Structure 1
Amino acid sequence: MEFGYFTLSDNRYPNNPRTAEAFLQDIYAEALWAEKVGLNSAWIGEHHFNLLGVNASPLAMLAQLAGATTKLRLAPAVTLLPVHHPLHVAEEWATLDLLSGGRVDFAAG
Structure 2
Amino acid sequence: MQFLHYTSVPWPYLVEPFSAFPDPNQACDPDRANGALRDTLAHMIAAENAGFDWLGMGEEHMNAYGMVPNPTLLLTVVAAQTRRAKIAVLGNPLPLLNPVRVAEEYAMIDVLSGGRVTFSCSRRKASSSPGASGHRAGSSESGLLKTAVRMRRLSILLPLLQVSGFSSLCSRALTVP
TM-score normalised to structure 2 length: 0.56
Q: CA deviation at 1:51?
A: 4.1
Which residue of 68, 87, 93 maps to 2:100? 87
Structure 1: where are the runs of 5+ without partners? none
Structure with higher helix content: 2
Structure exhibiting the larger radius of gyration computed from Cα positions: 2
Q: Percent identity?
A: 33
TM-score of the superposed pair, with normalisation by structure 1: 0.86
Deviates more, 1:94-103 or 1:73-82: 73-82
- RMSD in angstroms over aligned alpha carbons? 2.1
Structure 1 stretches of 4+ moved >3 Å: 15-18
Structure ranking higher on relative contact order (CA contacts 8 Å, 6+ apart): 1
* 1:22-72: CA deviation from partner (whole Å, max 9, x where unpaired): 111111011000110111011112112334321112111111111111001
The residue that corresponds to 1:96 in the other structure is 109
* CA distance in 1: counterparts of 2:52 and 2:65, whole angstroms: 26
Give the aligned length: 109
Give ranges in structure 2 of 5+ residues lacking alignment.
17-26, 123-177
The 8 Å contact of residues 8 and 77 in structure 1, kept in 2 or not, is answered as no
Note the 1:5-24 alignment, pairs <5 A: 5-11=5-11, 13-14=14-15, 19-24=32-37
